[in-house]
Structure 1
Amino acid sequence: MLRHLILAFCLPVVPALAAAAPSKLPVGVSHVVTVEGIEEYRLANGLQVLLVPDESKPTTTVNMTYRVGSHQESYGETGMAHLLEHLLFKGTPKHPNVWAEFTKRGLRANGSTWLDRTNYFASFSSNEENLKWYLGWQADAMVNSNIAKRDLDTEMTVVRNEMEMGENSPSRILFEKGLATMYQWHNYGKSTIGARSDVENVDIARLQNFYRTYYQPDNATLIVAGRFDPPRTLGWIAQSFGKIPAPKRRLPPLYTLDPVQDGERNVTLRRVGGVPMTYAMYHVPPGPHPDFAAINVLDVIMADAPSGRLHKKLVDGQLAAAVFAFSQELSDPGFSVFGAQLAPGQDLGKAQEAMLQTLESVAKEPITEEELKRARLKWIKDWDLAFSDPERVGVALSEAIAAGDWRLFFLTRDRVRKLTVEQVQRAASAYLLPSNRTLASYVPTEQPVRAPTPQRVDVAAMLRGYTGDPAVKQAEAFDATPANIETRTQRFGLKSGLQAAVLPKGTRGGVVSAQLNLRLGSEASLKGQSIVGQVVAAMLDKGTATLSRQQVQDKLDELQSEVAVQGGATGVTVMMRTRREHLPALLTLVGQMLREPSFPADAFEEVRRQALSELESERKDPDTIVNRELDRRFNPYPVEDVRYVPTFDEQRVALEQLQLDALRGFHQRFYGAAQAQFAAVGDLDVAQVRQALEASFGNWFAPEAHKRVPHPLVQVKPERLSFSTPDRQNAYLRVSLALPIAELHADHAALMLANYLLGQGGNSRLWARVREAEGLSYDVRSGVQFNAWEPNSLWNATAIFAPQNLAKVENAVREEIARALKDGFTAAELEQGRQGLLSFRYLSRAQDRNLAATLAENLYLGRNFTVAQQLDDALKRVTLAEVNAALRKYLKPESFVIGVGGDFKP
């Protein structure tokens, strides 16, 4: 959905940090303010520093936010802020190859650009050397980045490819066209990626001047979050950044505001493929404005499923397949977007009419106390759950900083808590007006009603003396080594056959992550059941025998819990996130959802329409076409076999012919806990969890026993497939090969490391050639899907690119693979790759959701975390000769199956 196009992060819980006494602060550093455990400091040159220590996870996140985005670009400079983000990673004289350093040090790093800000962030296993190095690079990059013509030339095609990638998404382009129509003068109407003509013709001198103007300490905020030593880190910051002089230039003033919109505006986008969509877009006040809290809650009231007004009117009314809404918190007056995606055959005009009538009739149909209570509960629940994730704090503050002040994040929460129906009603009546709307039509109005005059907010005055909630206590430090994980994990089984593994540990806010896997059926019993199994999984959260769909959602909000269900015919996975005190009640609710689904007819039709709508969108998507066709070749089974990969038409017909009784029959026949695995990680009471599991799943058996469906190695003939996708400006390449190796084979570590060096790490051969040297692709990589049971693992290499660069991309991939096979890797590559891969493995184990998923999978495989330690040990021991030998043993270019899709011109 469109909301996923917006780079927005939620702020996690932050711990208390006692402000360092002025006499103990480094020279040139002053303490500014403390809010809910976040300490703000200021360097003499103007750099703002936020320290957010948290011992609960063994990771550190550093985020550098510059207050510059497309908002600051001048005529002819669109896309300049984003292009500069790319060029900063090209290095400085002192740091010439930062991506290689990221890989060597195991940093998960990236950058992003939006309307009011650009940020650079990295997460890594807590390590003082890496932290000090990254701070040093950021300080060096702030004023010494090359921003050279040679780098601009090679990166230009990468940025163009990223632009082309966005061009493949009708929803993204419609969003851009809507903003461009909505804003007449303000730069919010300009896409962050920029105009192609501006990007392709950018003047290097202007780009360098843009860099020197905005990349200065007084225009930046440095955030360090996670496990680190605050006094020592503050000293390193002072040492690295303090020597940068305060800039003498003055930032250009920004004064442009669009006038009040005085009539409906319309825009139509016509392209090949996809399904009908419509957006209603309204001007709203800046993020700091008191009305913005009401705008946030209005999004939930209108578009939440299933209680939202738009959902009831359009989705339940079978006028659209899905609806959504979001508002953007910006420093100047921003926007709210309400959207609907239609299924094939639904009428766009009727959907638009119903959507506008629902949005703009609040004066006649006022907001109710029940609507506000439900929306506020959901919004606060989402805020609290995000606020409890300490690793994302280093990135999350960027949006509030860009809007005017990092403390706005807390102030908005306070305002939502205190919202009244009158405030929400007033905001809806003021902004959801025909004259303030951009859509695909125009209707003259004799007496238009105007929205409030746009205005800025004095954020400093508004937040003077603000302190927020009391700081939260520190959580325990947890070392995510396999040995420590194994020592802390407790396992038990139920009489039904369910196996459980729980790892109690302190977490920020008492949060616990859990996962429940149900394994269903067998190769014989699941014949012809693929589609019905997928739809059953999609229906499990749509109501139970005793709870309606809305009551299930209300209960989840009441329990401050998130539940995601996914799966198909062979099994279903339930992912959960909640707080310690709510976990037993959540397990009871999940038990009802799994054991007693009601399968309501209206929800069934909604799920079917959404599936058909998504299927129609995929028909012209090169990635989906190529992946589906290659997967069909690696799974050459009969149509009735559960392993069979259907065509688009076969899947459509199966969905259209599916009956509701088939869902009930499948559930009664296959669902049970005899072969189920449950895992939970976080702040939990083991006895309470066991009791809840016993009550919900202890006596649940299915008529059909589970037997794992085998996936033996299949010989696939070498082939090159090409698919035409007209009017899609981003193309896709996939190279696949079935490997006769299982996960615990003696060559596992050597092959894993060989692939990492070839196409997985940030300094891999494919990345260095295709992305960095030739600038042909925004994303190129390779990976091995190791099979845990049979010697049948799948190796894939993929790349996205401009269609006209097909030959260059394919040749570069082939040549780099051939060079690796012929010459092998070097000792330096091996050591850098080994260190990076081990760091990434450690970082993955530090994520509670990942840890819960692995614990559950290990129960099914009959393993524990000693297997992970054995693989780590093998990666530490493997030699260069073994790595090169593994690559040559398994990677056979003459056996490749290649698929390409795109708008390839003669």
Structure 2
Amino acid sequence: MKSFLMYCSAATVALAAASLPAAAQQVAATATAKPVPVAELVKRVDIPYEEFTLKNGLRVIVHTDRKAPIVAVSTWYDVGSKHEPTGKTGFAHLFEHLMFNGSENAPGDFFEPLKQVGATDFNGTTSFDRTNYFETVPRPALDRALFLESDRMGYLLGAITQDVLDEQRGVVQNEKRQGDNQPYGLVYYKLLEELLAGNAYGHNVIGSMADLDAASLDDVKNWFRSHYGPNNAVLVLAGDVDAKEARPLVEKYFGAIPAGPKSVLPQVAIPTLPQSKTVKMQDRVAATLILRSWAVPGMNDADAVPLDVFGEVLGGLASSRLDNALVRKEKVAVQVSAGIQSLSQLGIFQIQAVVKPGVDANLVAKRLDEIVADLIANGPTADEVQRVATTSVSSRISGLESVGGFGGKAVALASGELYSDDPAFYKKQLVETAKVTPAQVQAAGRKWLGRPSLTILVEPGQREAYQEAQAVPAAAKPVEGPKAEPVKGTRGALPDVAQIGDLDFPNVERTKLSNGVEIVYAHRTAVPVTQVVMSFDAGVAADPANKLGTQNLVLSLLDEGTTSLDSTAIAEARERLGATIGTGGSPDRTYLSVTTPSPNLAGSLDLFADVVRNPAFAPDEIERLRATQLTGIAQELTSPQGLAARALPPLLYGAGNPYAKMAAGGGDPAAVKALTRDDLLAFYRAWIRPDKAKVFVVSDRPLAEVKAALEARFGNWQGQGPAGIKAFDVAPKQAAPKILLVDRPDSPQSLIIAAQMTSLDPSSELLTQVTANQVLGSGFLSRINMDLREAKHWSYGAGGGYNWLEKAVPYTISAPVQADKTGESIKAIQQQVGDFLTTKGVTDAELTREINGTTRELAGRFETSGAVLSAMQQNDLRHRPDNFYDTVTQKYRGMTVAQLDAAARGSLDPKKFVWVVVGDAAKVKPQLDSLGLAVEVVPAASVAGSSAAAASK
């Protein structure tokens, strides 16, 4: 389901071909190739598996995938927030954190031994229904991963001390602050409170500050004893392993763990409100949000799939009923969506609409009612249902290339087993989606959405009081006894890891179309998907200095209408194909992309070529998308990240350097308001043209076939008029060290950004600099993160790195921290950076960890086609050879501590940083005044105008 924090650009256009640039009229491509039947796509989604159960009740599922020498290890526990009693909200999520902090036989953060073996995709998550932990490891490290997972399952409690609890409680509370600090960040609490009051699903997974404050050591240990036994878990191994190999390993590491209490599903009824209800909230937001919700059945109910399809037709598809009516035709909303948050025992059906500023929200709410009522009364069309099925199956095909992580094959198998007692439940869902009828969809909608609804209206205004963590008064604190020592392990040392082979990066081939456009291609056969990125030498640096935001408006218009298809027709065509067409940009490049099931490659490229070559730039659509862009800009000015991203570039690049244009974010509002159609056409002609383009492809289809398909659609494409030129004649000029404090009242967190311009040559390799920074700022185990998150628990996560641009290499640190620790956090960052660059450089242990981890993780890092495609583009931008990753292992192994220290100290100056802090100035400024840096306070609104000044000389 589309998020209400995103702004979509979808439009209906009607414009004669005469308005198109003449050169583009030479080809008017139309989608002529018919999509393959959705049933054919469903056949391609398959995850064969074997399963067995240990005597202690641990359910084990094994899927064999030999495409890479890696194995995904995914452990799912049948415990989530729905199991939490009153007064203990947030316990499941708190325990997810505690289980990363080491166990009796593996003390310390689990990220350390996982990093050493080259694990990728290692993390954990908590939901209403479950808690899971996952990592993808090289095959020789499978023993170690199983030891670690079994140790936190069976040998955890002795490692949990009061210090560990206090540390992770603070981290979780800052995770909560970070989410709550966003625009609309308090809405979901209200939704659950009003819609599901008294229900097991009626409180947020992250819990309340008060319950987290009150959690005692005994409380959390008893929570573990009640829920985390092997008989309450599912273990999935997916990758370079089979059940014959897996069973003795699983028996060895998990077999001795005794069974525990079995989680009991809470009694969950699907509540129906006595009558429809509207609740109003205020927040510091740029636009009014309408959020309408119903409680509906969970994923195992017969109505689950029909309801999901109803939601997609209503507001999930790009061509949805809500998009077509409210966004494209009536232009009363800038973004709409609908769909189900599908849970095990119930679901929440939601409709969201971000009201166009100046439009009456009551009008939009009334239209929502009418559109839902019409869909219930008349049902969807067969074509709509079919398009939902095709997009769903195509998305699943792409997602199953990965063996693990957040959404790969291990996730599909584990969730099916845990929620539905069937690892192949994903397949049943797809089959049902492919065969569901319009009548079934209509009936489900009538049954469940004809009931009273909850509407939450979030309007711009003063946010309500925020619940903070409570400091325990000294008089109320218990008298401290002897400090408990962690229990010493009894299972011996971690298993050794055998030699891990070097990466064999896919062979990259290059060829050219007849008009000179280069194709950079890699062959991957794991999934029948083709990904194409057309990269143009443009980017933010190409935006006209006095018209910042031009590129964004051009890109938003490209797939909103061609000379032969309006935006609804484009959306419907790509949905029938299961294709996605995207646009985007970086400081240096502008991207147009298409991803499609390879059986539909011909039709998808027909459509893509039409979008790229024949944009209409219809006047009505320009006005609609201008309004959407201006709303997005206003939203940036309510977001901590948006404000910081606008405030930093003028300090880092100075006036006149093209990269200073990044201060515009989504655009300079005054410039966007004034843009004309001629401005947009001029940018398109200057930059979206073949002599600026390079095409990157990863596909299961051979290069000859892909090249022929691209040649037929782009081989005769020629540019019109002079090409654009990016003038980098003005070098970056960083401001003197100071703190710019952007006042954002009522912020429970402050976002700290520290940055400096380095003298590094962006055309050089920079491998030692980047590797040295893995110790200081990059990744969970970096010193900055370990200090602010784990040692001090003032942040949910902090870090820094080089922003490696084509013409400059700045270094930036980002740290969202609790508001009352802003000043101390800056001191802590200064201390960490200063020590690292002087007396406390890279240690031998850190060198070993980073070299081991970085070299061993390469196979997992490039498991997916998307990762390979990204690496191909980065290698090209940085002028590296195409086989760079085949040779990089030896370069890493030759690094020394002295080299890394020299690289870091030659790049960074601890006294050179400029600082941006976004937070509540009334609370924060007194903390900054004693830091020895000039402090300049500016209101959030002033940041919107800084972009134009930064871009001009």
- TM-score, normalised on structure 2? 0.83
- For 1:777-835, what per-residue CA distance to the aligned partner results, in whole angstroms no more than 9, with x for missing partners? 111111112344x4x31111111111111122112111111221222121111111122
Label 1:196 to 1:569 Cα distance change in 2 as closer, same or farther (>3 A): closer
Select the residue among 382, 391, 406 that pairs with 1:369: 382
- The equivalent residue for 1:717 is 736
- The equivalent residue for 2:525 is 506
Q: Quote the Cα distance in structure 2 between the aligned partners of 1:148 and 1:15.
A: 51
* Structure 1 residue 778 corresponds to structure 2 residue 789: no
Q: Residue 885 of structure 1: CA displacement?
A: 1.9
- The equivalent residue for 2:684 is 667
Is residue 557–residue 622 contact of structure 2 (8 Å, CA) maintained in 1?
yes
Label 1:714 to 1:334 Cα distance change in 2 as closer, same or farther (>3 A): same
- The equivalent residue for 1:292 is 304
Q: Quote the Cα distance in structure 2 between the aligned partners of 1:170 and 1:261.
A: 28
Other structure's SS at 1:497 match: coil
* Structure 1 residue 77 corresponds to structure 2 residue 88: yes
1:70-469 equivalences under 5 Å are 70-97=81-108, 98-108=110-120, 109-124=122-137, 126-128=138-140, 130-145=141-156, 146-247=159-260, 249-252=261-264, 254-304=266-316, 306-316=318-328, 317-391=330-404, 392-405=408-421, 406-440=423-457
Label 1:645 to 1:637 Cα distance change in 2 as closer, same or farther (>3 A): farther
Is residue 176–residue 191 contact of structure 1 (8 Å, CA) maintained in 2?
yes
- The equivalent residue for 1:798 is 814
Label 1:398 to 1:538 Cα distance change in 2 as closer, same or farther (>3 A): farther
- The equivalent residue for 2:906 is 889
Q: Quote the Cα distance in structure 1 between the aligned partners of 2:610 and 2:204.
A: 46
Other structure's SS at 2:573 match: helix
Select the residue among 824, 845, 866 that pairs with 1:828: 845
Q: Quote the Cα distance in structure 1 between the aligned partners of 2:251 and 2:3.
A: 39
Q: Residue 179 of structure 1: CA displacement?
A: 1.8
Q: Which amino acid aligns with 2:831?
A: E
Is residue 482–residue 866 contact of structure 1 (8 Å, CA) maintained in 2?
no
Q: Residue 840 of structure 1: CA displacement?
A: 4.2
Q: Quote the Cα distance in structure 2 between the aligned partners of 1:367 and 1:209.
A: 50
Q: Which amino acid aligns with 2:561?
A: G
- TM-score, normalised on structure 1? 0.87
Label 1:576 to 1:413 Cα distance change in 2 as closer, same or farther (>3 A): same
Mark the runs of 5 or more structure 2 residues left unpaired by the alignment: 7-40, 459-499, 927-953
- The equivalent residue for 1:450 is none
Q: Quote the Cα distance in structure 2 between the aligned partners of 1:604 and 1:480.
A: 54
Select the residue among 585, 589, 610 that pairs with 1:592: 610
Is residue 731–residue 803 contact of structure 1 (8 Å, CA) maintained in 2?
yes
Q: Residue 204 of structure 1: CA displacement?
A: 1.8
- Which stretch of the first structure deviates more once superposed, 555-564 or 348-357? 555-564
Select the residue among 491, 513, 537 that pairs with 1:519: 537
Q: Quote the Cα distance in structure 2 between the aligned partners of 1:818 and 1:218.
A: 50
- For 1:360-380, what per-residue CA distance to the aligned partner results, in whole angstroms no more than 9, with x for missing partners? 343444333333233333333
* Structure 1 residue 808 corresponds to structure 2 residue 799: no
- The equivalent residue for 1:739 is 758
Q: Residue 163 of structure 1: CA displacement?
A: 0.6
Label 1:351 to 1:399 Cα distance change in 2 as closer, same or farther (>3 A): farther
Q: Quote the Cα distance in structure 1 between the aligned partners of 2:543 and 2:169.
A: 54
Is residue 523–residue 701 contact of structure 2 (8 Å, CA) maintained in 1?
yes
1:500-579 equivalences under 5 Å are 500-508=519-527, 510-520=528-538, 526-528=544-546, 530-567=548-585, 571-579=589-597
1:680-695 equivalences under 5 Å are 680-695=697-712
Other structure's SS at 1:491 match: strand
- Which stretch of the first structure deviates more once superposed, 856-865 or 516-525? 516-525
Q: Quote the Cα distance in structure 1 between the aligned partners of 2:418 and 2:184.
A: 25
Is residue 117–residue 852 contact of structure 2 (8 Å, CA) maintained in 1?
yes
Q: Residue 328 of structure 1: CA displacement?
A: 2.1
Q: Which amino acid aligns with 2:308?
A: N
Q: Quote the Cα distance in structure 1 between the aligned partners of 2:4 and 2:225.
A: 32
Q: Quote the Cα distance in structure 1 between the aligned partners of 2:641 and 2:821.
A: 16
Q: Quote the Cα distance in structure 1 between the aligned partners of 2:741 and 2:712.
A: 54
- For 1:99-143, what per-residue CA distance to the aligned partner results, in whole angstroms no more than 9, with x for missing partners? 21122222231111110011111123x232x21111111111012
Q: Residue 707 of structure 1: CA displacement?
A: 4.5
Q: Quote the Cα distance in structure 1 between the aligned partners of 2:724 and 2:673.
A: 28
Q: Residue 649 of structure 1: CA displacement?
A: 11
Label 1:579 to 1:41 Cα distance change in 2 as closer, same or farther (>3 A): same
Select the residue among 70, 74, 79 that pairs with 1:59: 70
Other structure's SS at 1:278 match: strand
Q: Quote the Cα distance in structure 2 between the aligned partners of 1:299 and 1:591.
A: 30
Q: Residue 226 of structure 1: CA displacement?
A: 2.1
Q: Which amino acid aligns with 1:684?
A: R
- The equivalent residue for 1:40 is 51
Q: Residue 434 of structure 1: CA displacement?
A: 4.7
Q: Quote the Cα distance in structure 2 between the aligned partners of 1:363 and 1:554.
A: 21
Q: Quote the Cα distance in structure 2 between the aligned partners of 1:366 and 1:571.
A: 44
Q: Quote the Cα distance in structure 2 between the aligned partners of 1:536 and 1:688.
A: 31
Q: Residue 394 of structure 1: CA displacement?
A: 2.1
- Which stretch of the first structure deviates more once superposed, 629-638 or 828-837? 629-638
Label 1:523 to 1:198 Cα distance change in 2 as closer, same or farther (>3 A): closer
Label 1:293 to 1:139 Cα distance change in 2 as closer, same or farther (>3 A): same
Q: Quote the Cα distance in structure 1 between the aligned partners of 2:186 and 2:888.
A: 45
- The equivalent residue for 1:448 is none
Q: Which amino acid aligns with 2:639?
A: D
- Which stretch of the first structure deviates more once superposed, 701-710 or 103-112? 701-710
Q: Residue 570 of structure 1: CA displacement?
A: 6.6
- The equivalent residue for 1:627 is 645
Label 1:741 to 1:725 Cα distance change in 2 as closer, same or farther (>3 A): same
Q: Quote the Cα distance in structure 2 between the aligned partners of 1:806 and 1:527.
A: 35
Label 1:768 to 1:529 Cα distance change in 2 as closer, same or farther (>3 A): same
Other structure's SS at 2:222 match: helix
Is residue 735–residue 899 contact of structure 1 (8 Å, CA) maintained in 2?
yes
Q: Quote the Cα distance in structure 2 between the aligned partners of 1:877 and 1:327.
A: 52
- For 1:43-78, what per-residue CA distance to the aligned partner results, in whole angstroms no more than 9, with x for missing partners? 111111111121224432211111111100001110
Is residue 227–residue 262 contact of structure 2 (8 Å, CA) maintained in 1?
no
When the two chains are superposed, the root-mean-square deviation of aligned CA atoms in Å is: 2.9
Select the residue among 502, 510, 516 that pairs with 1:491: 510
Q: Which amino acid aligns with 2:834?
A: A
Q: Residue 882 of structure 1: CA displacement?
A: 1.4
Other structure's SS at 1:782 match: strand
Q: Residue 357 of structure 1: CA displacement?
A: 2.2
Q: Residue 532 of structure 1: CA displacement?
A: 1.9
Select the residue among 619, 632, 636 that pairs with 2:654: 636
Other structure's SS at 2:519 match: strand
Is residue 126–residue 132 contact of structure 2 (8 Å, CA) maintained in 1?
yes
Q: Quote the Cα distance in structure 1 between the aligned partners of 2:887 and 2:397.
A: 38
Label 1:555 to 1:357 Cα distance change in 2 as closer, same or farther (>3 A): closer
Is residue 645–residue 665 contact of structure 2 (8 Å, CA) maintained in 1?
no
Is residue 16–residue 37 contact of structure 1 (8 Å, CA) maintained in 2?
no
Q: Which amino acid aligns with 2:102?
A: G
Q: Residue 608 of structure 1: CA displacement?
A: 2.0
- The equivalent residue for 2:785 is 767
